[in-house]
Every structure is written in C-alpha cells, then in structure tokens.
Amino acid sequence: MAQGVWIIAEQRDGEIRKISYELASEGRRLADALGQDLTVVLLGSTIKDKAAAFGPYGANKVLVADDSRLEPYTTDAYVSVISQLVKAHEPAVLILGASVQGKDLAGRLAARLDVAMAQDCTAFAIEGGNLVATRPIYAGKAYAKVTFENSWPQMATARPKVMRISDPDPSKSAETVDAAFTLDDAELKTKVVDVVKDESGKVDLTEADKIVSGGRGMKGPENYTILEALAQVIGASVGASRSAVDAGWRPHTDQVGQTGKVVSPNLYVACGISGAIQHLAGMSTSKVIVAINKDPDAPIFQKADYGVVADLFDLVPALTEEAKKYL
C-alpha cells in the first residue's frame, strides 16, 4: 500500500533552491493530512551536508543520492535514480517544483513510472486519501480540480512562489539516509557542455519577489530606463508584455504572459499594459497587482489591487522618489 509524501528538492551548484522549502512546507501539510511521513529526496554530488536543512521544515527523512553523475542535473540520471527509489519505497504522493528543471524532470519521471501528473498546480489538498490538485488551464481562464485513478505515486508539480514556506523550527531534525541506486553510464545520453550565466545580478522573473513590467504604453525601448530606475529602488526585476517584446524593445526572456513566463511575485507593477488575457495568464497569481495606465477603461484595472489612472511617464518617476522614503 503506497505510503508517505515525497518531495524532490532542487539544488544548483550545491546550493538548495528556495522552491525546495516551498515543497517541503507544502509536503509537511499534506503528510499531516494523510497522517503519514514526509521524505525529501536530494540528488547531487557531495551534497549530503545540505540534507540537514530540511528537518526544520518538517521532513521526517532526507533520502540522499550522492554521485558525481548527478551534478549537474540531467534528465536521464535523475529519472533513473528517482524512479528506482520510488519503486523501492512506494510513496503515495510525489511533488516537484514547476521550475524549468522540475518540469523537465517531472514529465519524464511520470512517463517512466507510467503515472498521471498534474503540472504547475496552485493548490493541493487531500480528499479521501487522494491528492487533489488545483491548476490553471487555458492560460488561467479556467481552473481545473484534478485527482488520480490507478496512478501511484500521485504526482504533481507546484507553481514556484505560491506554496507558503513555513517558519522553520530549528528544534526539528530529519533522519538522513543514503539512497541505494545503480546508474549505468550507457543510460546517460545527454551532457551539459556549457553553462552561460545571464547578465550579472539579474534575478529571473519567475523567481523575483517584485516585478515592474512595461507594455505598449512605454512607446519605445529607451523609456525602459524609467522602469529600471524604479526597479533599482524597490529591488525589482523588469518584465515586459508581448507587445513590447514583439516590437523588439525587450528580449523575449523578459516576456510575461501566456507564451512567456508565468510569474508569481509579491508585487507586480504593470506600466502601460492594457491587460490582455494572454498577459494576465502570466501574472494572475501575483500577491499584489498595481496598474498604471492613462486609459481608465484598460482591462488591467479589473485585476489590479491598486489602480492609478495617470501617465506613466509622470507617475513612475514620482513613485520612484516616493518609494525611497520607505527604503
């Protein structure tokens, strides 16, 4: 009988990524609902000392797979190891993060295990001993509540920055266990040959706590300097709507929206963005949405927590000055 909640931690270059704590916190809540244990699965090379980080978030056990072939991440190595562990231990629930790596891993892992997988979920619950996942579909125009049938473990990925991280309790610790697995070099068909870091200091939009975003109302690439000035003061990353990206004003990696990035910051400031449904798809789970637009009928005002009907070329520099008072 499948038992236990498992989460797959994500690390990069030996550092645990924040999403792992979101998963551990949510995993603990689900384990409590099931009356079962939480296991964190940690893969990497010389990574064992990082296992201790998870006890305070409620993990009962940390299963560590330590091998030089597990650094950096490759689909083949991780799917092979995790599927072996799953088959050996038979967890009931398996949650990963819907980061780029997480989505790549979860898809192939689910296929290897021949189980269903609910991707990019914004809420989880246990009903009748089964995982019930809520997730946006049609770019967030609808939400689907899904569950699993004849499918163990019940697998899902969590949208980054949505699951609440619990306050860590330093008095709690988890048992660290060395995972047993075999890895055949012949299985490893892909290789990471280079890692090119993006512009220094730029936080990826999917991980940013605050985002200031500009749309068609920016009128041209040179005007993004005023958004960058605001971003600098409040500690935000700068995003863009599809119009701005298609016009060549901003790189496509800055695009927030249905065919761009899905972001979930604490604060999203939309400047000169009308609020097309495709844009909303990319930022609707933001905690606080501010809209600055001179058109009072812009649809974005329907979604904003705070709307300012004003010319962004006046408002944004003024806001930058005002924000300095709260630094």
Partner 1 sequence: MNIIVCLKQVPDTETQIKIASDKQSIVGDDIKWVMNPYDEFGVEEALRLREKHGGEVTVVGLGPKRVTESIRTALAMGADKGILVSDEALTGSDSLAQAKALAAAIKELPYDLIFTGQRGVDDDLGIVGATIAELLNIPQLSLVVKVEVAEDGKSIKVQRPIEGETLVITSSLPALITAQKGLNEPRYASLPGIMKAKKKPLAEKSLGDLGLNSADFGPGARKLKILELTPPPARAAGKIVEGETPQEKAAQLAKLLHEEAKVL
Quick one: 67 or 76, whose CB is closer to partner 1? 76
Q: Is the dihedral of CA 219, 225, 229, 234 positive or negative?
A: positive
How would you write 6-17 as a 3-class SS string? EEECCEECCEEC
Task: Print the binding letters for residues 268-307 with partner 1: x by CB under 8 A, - otherwise.
Answer: ---------xx-----x--xxxx----------x-xxxxx
Unique residue bearing structure tokens 């008072």: 325
User: Segment contacting partner 1 (CB under 8 A): 41-49, 74-82, 162-170, 214-222?
Assistant: 74-82
Residues facing 225 on adjacent strands: none
Question: Binding partner 1 by CB under 8 A: which of 104, 168, 173, 219?
Answer: 104
User: Segment contacting partner 1 (CB under 8 A): 32-40, 85-93, 177-185, 260-268?
Assistant: 260-268
- For residue 58, the minimal CB distance to partner 1 (Å) is 25
- Respond yes or no on whether the N-terminal peptide bond of residue 56 is cis (omega within 30° of 0): no
- For residue 220, the minimal CB distance to partner 1 (Å) is 20
As a whole number of angstroms, the distance between CA 316 and CA 299 comes to 20
Binding status of residue 234 toward partner 1 by CB under 8 A: yes
Binding status of residue 191 toward partner 1 by CB under 8 A: yes
Q: Kindly state the tokens that stand for 316.
A: 């944004």
Binding status of residue 112 toward partner 1 by CB under 8 A: yes
Query: Which secondary-structure segment (H or E) carries 105?
Result: helix 100-113
Residues facing 61 on adjacent strands: 39, 175
Residues 204 and 259: beta-carbon distance below 8 Å: no
Quick one: 14 or 52, whose CB is closer to partner 1? 14
Quick one: 50 or 161, whose CB is closer to partner 1? 161
Question: Binding partner 1 by CB under 8 A: which of 2, 33, 229, 310?
Answer: 310
Quick one: 55 or 215, whose CB is closer to partner 1? 215
As a whole number of angstroms, the distance between CA 241 and CA 274 comes to 9
Which residues have a Cβ under 8 Å from the Cβ of 154 and sit 6 or more positions away? Answer: 92, 93, 94, 115, 116, 130, 131, 147, 148
Quick one: 134 or 166, whose CB is closer to partner 1? 134
Quick one: 26 or 37, whose CB is closer to partner 1? 26
As a whole number of angstroms, the distance between CA 87 and CA 25 comes to 24
Q: Within 30-59, which residues bind partner 1 (CB under 8 A)?
A: none
Question: Binding partner 1 by CB under 8 A: which of 33, 116, 162, 183?
Answer: 116
Q: Within 124-183, which residues bind partner 1 (CB under 8 A)?
A: 132, 135-151
Task: Print the binding letters for residues 194-233 with partner 1: x by CB under 8 A, - otherwise.
Answer: xxxxx---xxx-xx--x-----------------------
- For residue 155, the minimal CB distance to partner 1 (Å) is 10
Residues 290 and 269: beta-carbon distance below 8 Å: yes
Quick one: 83 or 173, whose CB is closer to partner 1? 83
CA distances from 173 to 29, 31, 39, 168, 170 (A): 17, 16, 12, 11, 7
Residues 120 and 135: beta-carbon distance below 8 Å: yes
Quick one: 100 or 180, whose CB is closer to partner 1? 100
Binding status of residue 76 toward partner 1 by CB under 8 A: yes
Question: Binding partner 1 by CB under 8 A: which of 101, 213, 243, 274?
Answer: 101
Q: Is the dihedral of CA 100, 139, 239, 302 positive or negative?
A: negative
Quick one: 39 or 206, whose CB is closer to partner 1? 206
Q: How many residues bind partner 1 (CB under 8 A)?
A: 90
